[in-house]
Amino acid sequence: MFDQLPPSLREHLDLLWPQLVESGVNIVTAVTILILGLWFAGRCRVWTMRGLDRFPSLDDMLKNFFGSLVRYLIIIFTVLAVLAKFGVQTASLIAVLGAAGLAVGLALQGTLSNVAAGVMLLIFRPFRAGHYVEAGGVAGTVKALTLFTTELATPDNVQIIVPNSDVWGRPITNYTYHPTRRLELTFGISYGDDIGKAMDIIRREVEADERCLEEPAPFIGVMSLGDSSVNIVTRVWVMNANLWPVRFDMTRRIKERFDEGGITIPFPVRTIYTARAE
């Protein structure tokens, strides 16, 4: 085919052909390195997390963080290897990136602050995966902590992604950190009812529920005298996981015992007078 071309064109093709072949090989090699590098980065993330499973003291949040860190590092080396196949001097590139680091840092200060905040969250560990927290202005169960964000899930299983800088820079309320919590319930009774009888009913229900802890001891007392009711406060300590079940069950049972004992719970009553036109 080339024999039919003019001699000058054949000479140019003879000179360009090795370069075209070399460029094609470099492109194929670079694409192969990129594909294998991305695959290997994903596998290393999985292997890292599996390796950390041997340490029971590490929670899933910490394992996921280190797995993501290893993945990003391998991706960076893969990109440098791909650039090297195209003739880019990676040493010079690294030097240029280092010189431009200040400008990039200023431009990406928000992103870098998220990384720094993620590191601080890992060091001080104010929460773990599975804890229910209020952080960054939102509340939910902690699912994962990555280099840049913290993932939460609301009680109705809605995903919330919060930047790490917002989590670290604001107060964090951890409702699951301690194994026990104090449950407080307030019951209003009528002014004409027997206060002692009402308190005895509440005390019997608290003592009958095995989920209510004996230490610290439960407290039952008159909290306040309201506009239409005497408000009795009940404070009991329960295990964290039993807080809401005890609240729901205790409220229902005490209402039923009040009805059986003749204790009334007042509710607002409005009297309307109608003026008759003369």
Same domain, 91 and 139: no
CA dihedral 194, 195, 198, 199 (to 10 degrees): -150
pLDDT at 114: 80
pLDDT at 54: 77
Give the amino acid at 149: T
Q: 164 lies in which domain range?
A: 126-174
Using omega within 30 degrees of 0 as the cis cutoff, is the peptide bond preceding 216 cis? Answer: yes
Query: Residues with Cβ < 8 Å from 112, sequence gap 6 or more?
Result: 105
pTM over 0.95: no
Same domain, 160 and 230: no
In this structure, is residue 22 part of a structural domain? yes
Are the C-beta atoms of residues 236 and 206 closer than 8 Å to each other?
yes
Same domain, 55 and 70: yes
CATH code of the domain containing 232? 3.30.70.100
In this structure, is residue 114 part of a structural domain? no
Angle at 159 between CA 248 and CA 139, to 5 degrees: 50
Q: Give mean pLDDT in consecutive 10-residue pieces for the chain, a chain of 278 residues.
A: 54 60 71 83 82 71 76 81 68 61 55 80 84 91 86 93 89 92 94 93 93 93 90 95 94 94 82 69
Cα–Cα distance, 246 to 252 (Å, whole number): 10
Cα–Cα distance, 198 to 223 (Å, whole number): 14
Cα–Cα distance, 112 to 138 (Å, whole number): 22
Give the amino acid at 173: T
How many separate domains does the chain show? 3
In this structure, is residue 224 part of a structural domain? yes
Q: How far is CA 178 from CA 106, 127, 132, 240, 248, in A?
A: 40, 11, 11, 8, 21
pLDDT at 82: 76
And the tokens for 258? 């009040």
Cα–Cα distance, 273 to 266 (Å, whole number): 22
In this structure, is residue 133 part of a structural domain? yes
Same domain, 185 and 252: yes
